[in-house]
Structure 1
Amino acid sequence: MNTERLWTRSFFMVCAANFFLFVTYYYLLVTLPSAALTHFHAAGSIAGLFTTLFLGAAIVIRPFVSAWMMKFGKRALLIASLIIFFTASFLYGWFDSVIALLILRFFHGIGFGMATTVTGSIVADLVPDARKGEGMGYFIMSANLAMVAGPFLGITIFGEYGLTTMFWIGAVFSFGALLLGWLTRLPEEPAIEQKGKEKQAVFEKTAIPISVTGAFFAVAYSSILSFMAVFAAQRGLEEASGYFFAVYAAILLLTRPFTGRWFDQYGANAIIFPAIILFAIGMLALGLSSSTIVFFIAAACIGIGWGTLFPSFQTIAVQRCIPKRRPAATATFLSIFDLGIGFGSFLAGALAGIMDLGTLYIFCSVYIACGLALYWRAQRQTGQKQAA
């Protein structure tokens, strides 16, 4: 067993800040489109812009964050990004106009894109090389837990107390991220010498193959984020739908200590190939589910499968480059991954209009199984780029 210390104070604080960052993200992700429809009586296309503009801003800003970290330092950029994120969260409660909120949503996405890139880069530096899989897994698990807490809190508070109270409580969550980020102390960063006016590429080439692979699987996963509540209602599983992600998170908590260590001990392939198969089985079970038991079995398989794949892909992205290019690798991975989520949400919405959601999930299981070949090819390409 490797004895290099993982749970340092800095690592814990960054994970906690990431949790509150993603709680705010998921909290608003599930409530703002509903608020646009019910409170502002906006069209469905306008409601969809609340997510599109947010993710679009994050994708646009991420390629520049790597250079800014090299110029200003990771801690300075972490604080700046969390201030932007908190400011946007605080301002939601001051506006009662769809146009103003959409502009604010874009501004909010800038802070989110910066913060997620910086925190991922910080953790990649904090985690010992021999425990990268385990450490990145725990870090990303903080976002997975937020995926359960955020929607539950958002829907509950919005339904019980209304839009204004929901906005102010969301600001409290984002302030928690800012406070934890402010209290985080990082090791002193060595100065990076640059030859002349040489510019660093905003994208890390070695990370592109595995990033595209992650985006491929994200297309399938986005169909769950977008239509889980609708699917559960179609199958008469409304009462169980609220516990889907709770089961997902519980299984993730139970398996994370093992999957992360196995990644470090036996290599990526020993973890990722079985995880892809479990993800496909979970989507198939979800598409066929008509009872609570099968529904929860699907949640468990998807929790192990997708919950293992995402941190593993990000770990590969940052492992295969030189240390000073880790911020660029993180930005490359997250930008391409978000494109997969955005495209998958759009595609799932289009397909849901012409087929039953259960059929869509069965189709997704076949799609995921095809990803076995894509991952195998990406591993070969990544290895070749690293050697070059």
Structure 2
Amino acid sequence: MKQKVSVMAKVAILISAFYTMADMFVVTPILGEISIAFPNAKITTIELCYSLSQITVIISSLLCVKLCTKFSKKSLMLFGGMLIAIFGGLGGMIENLGIMLGMRAMEGFGAGICISLIPAIIAEMFRDEKEMTRMMGWQAAVGAILGTLSSIAAGKIAESISWHYSYYVYLFAVIIIILQVCFLPKTPTEKPKDDLTGKAFINRAVVEWAFISFIYAAMTICIFIKTAQYFLETGLGGAEHAGIAESFITIGSFLGACVMAWIFEKFDSFIDLVCWVLILAGTIAVVSFKNVEIVYLGMLIFGIGYGAFFPWLYAKGTMICAPNSETKTISLITATYYLGMFSGTFVYAALANIFDNHTAYFAFICMIISSAVMCAFATVQGVVTREKGVLKRQNLVETE
């Protein structure tokens, strides 16, 4: 039976997308300023101010499966939001790298809880495949808008006042918490089951899709951690320009998320290829011309591909997973995605050491090559998937 969801309940879950985007976009515009504030720190250590949260996101995402059997998703979402508000909002108040990294880790723990629960709650609230896919896209689109504002605000605050105060952007979580308390429906604790073991299980299709999630995250993190450095080393600008550039990513992400359901309807099994082509084209545009406007255009194109693929990770995951295993599947996809983001930092650092080239330009070239490989893989995968039949949701089993 189709559930009726109130408008304010939709608003409460959609605006929660701030947690996903803020975890990525608040810190990245100010990495250049943080590196200047700590001139003796290694570049990998500075980048941990962004990427360290990814490891705690992984931990809390995996813990979410067990926590959902003890607490309601609403209670866990509120708890995660409070961690983001406290440790994210106060993350830059003490100019000490050790303390900042500790605060970043705790913010990531809260973000991991929320990031895992948002698509799980959407899948629970909207059982119809088209409506669920549409809401996944709109959730990412709202996140893109909030990410744009967060990125611009963080960069502007850093340029006008100090990078320390850019962290206050995380305090927007307080507004989200209030909306969730008032309007987000309370869900019961989970009692996952299947016909054999009584427990939710992860099928092979989900494992393979989680691996793609890992690759996608490890590759694309380059654009987030290297943009500020790219502007500084090319002389195209500083933190404010980097913030604007990343706002173009989020604008593109908004557009990509809005059309994700349409792309799925039109291209079906080739939706992955469409996204990879856009990511490849955008990155090529960024490095091809030493021109701010072209860089912004490249970021926009990249963002469209990135923004369409990100919600598709979760939408497809809920389609191919076993019955009653949505939360476990989403937690696995979230964990592998953020493991990819965390690992990507060190992969690019290792490549830089191997080739003795630590420039952002070199990192972007590596990303272009890997994106081209993924385009070829997605083409083959699309053909195979089309031969097997159109993707459809496999797990529409009503839970009691």
TM-superposition CA deviations, 1:272-310 (whole Å, max 9, x none): 222222222222222212334532432232122222222
* Contact 2:137–2:257 under 8 Å retained in 1: yes
Letter in 1 for 2:140: I
Partners of 1:359 and 1:28 lie apart in 2 by: 22
CA distance in 1, matches of 2:134, 2:296: 26
Distance 2:104 2:229 in 1: 25
Is 1:229 the equivalent of 2:228?
A: yes
CA distance in 1, matches of 2:155, 2:23: 12
Identity of aligned pairs, percent?
Answer: 14
Greater helix proportion:
1
Q: Deviations over 1:227-277 (max 9, x none)?
A: 1122234444328654323333444444544332341x3463243222222
CA change 1:91–1:248 in 2 (3 A) is: closer
Q: Distance in 2 between matches of 1:170 and 1:38?
A: 20
Task: Note the 1:1-20 alignment, pairs <5 A.
Answer: 8-19=7-18
Change in CA separation of 1:289 and 1:124 when aligned onto 2, cut-off 3 Å: farther
Q: CA offsets per residue over residues 208-229 of structure 1, 9 Å max, x none? A: 2112112212222111111112
Q: 1:6 to 1:219 in 2, by over 3 A?
A: farther
- Between the aligned partners of 2:289 and 2:4, the Cα distance in structure 1 is 43
1:338 aligns with 2:341: no
Deviates further, 252-261 or 55-64: 252-261
Partner of 1:130, secondary structure, is helix
Where does residue 366 of structure 1 map in the other structure? 369
Match status 1:161 vs 2:161: yes
Larger mean Cα displacement after TM superposition, 280-289 or 95-104: 95-104
Q: For residues 87-124 of structure 1, what are the alpha-carbon distances to aligned partners after superposition, in whole Å with 9 as ceiling and x for unaligned? A: 32355477564434433332222111111111121122
User: Could you list the per-position Cα deviations for residues 117-139 of structure 1 after superposition, in whole angstroms to 9, with x for gaps in the alignment?
Assistant: 11121122233312333221221
Checking the alignment, whether the CA contact within 8 Å between 2:49 and 2:104 is kept in structure 1 is yes
Q: Which residue is equivalent to 2:259?
A: 258
When residues 6 and 315 of structure 1 are mapped into structure 2, their CA distance, relative to the original with a 3 A threshold, is farther
Change (3 A) 1:118 1:205: farther
Segments of structure 2 that go 5 or more residues without pairing to the other structure are 396-400
Structure 1 partner of 2:291: 291
**Higher alpha-carbon deviation: 181-190 or 72-81:** 181-190
Contact kept? 1:34, 1:47, Cα under 8 Å: no
Q: What is aligned with 1:111? A: 110
> 1:65 aligned to 2:68?
no
One-letter identity of the residue aligned with 2:106: F
Question: What secondary structure is seen at the aligned counterpart in 2 of 1:211?
Answer: helix
Structure 1 length as normaliser, TM-score? Answer: 0.82
Equivalent-residue separation in structure 1 for 2:26 and 2:15 (angstroms): 16
Equivalent residue number for residue 218 of structure 1? 217
Q: Tell me if structure 2 keeps the 8 A contact 1:88–1:108.
A: yes
CA RMSD of aligned residues (A): 3.8
Give the TM-score, by structure 2 length. Answer: 0.80
Q: Could you say which residue in structure 1 is the equivalent of 2:398?
A: none
Residue number in structure 2 paired with 1:27:
26
Mapping for residues 113-262 of structure 1, pairs under 5 Å: 113-127=112-126, 128-162=128-162, 165-167=165-167, 169-170=168-169, 172-186=171-185, 188-189=187-188, 192=191, 200=199, 205-238=204-237, 241-254=242-255, 256-262=257-263
Post-superposition offset of 1:31? 3.8
Q: Does the Cα contact within 8 Å between 2:74 and 2:187 map onto a contact in 1?
A: no
Once structures 1 and 2 are overlaid, which stretch shifts more, 141-150 or 234-243? 234-243
Any conservation in 2 of the 1:278–1:305 contact (CA below 8 Å)?
Answer: yes
Instruction: Tell me if the contact between 1:210 and 1:375 (Cα under 8 Å) persists in the aligned partners.
Output: no
Residues 94 and 40 (structure 1 numbering): CA distance in 2 closer, same or farther, change over 3 Å? farther
Count residues with an aligned counterpart. Answer: 384
Deviation of the 1:38 alpha carbon: 1.1
Instruction: Tell me, yes or no, if the aligned pair for 1:21 and 1:177 is still in contact at 8 Å.
Output: no
1:38-63: per-residue Cα shift (whole Å, max 9, x none)?
17975545434433432111112211
- d(CA) in 2 for partners of 1:104, 1:245: 23
Q: By how many angstroms is 1:336 displaced?
A: 0.7
Task: Name the CA shift for 1:176/1:23 in 2 (closer, same or farther; >3 Å).
Answer: farther
Residue 371 of structure 1 deviates from its aligned partner by 1.2
SS of the residue 1:72 aligns to: coil
Distance 1:5 1:233, change over 3 A: farther
Aligned pair in 2 of structure 1 residues 43, 126: CA closer, same or farther (>3 Å)? Answer: same
1:79 is matched with: 78
1:366 maps to a residue whose letter is I
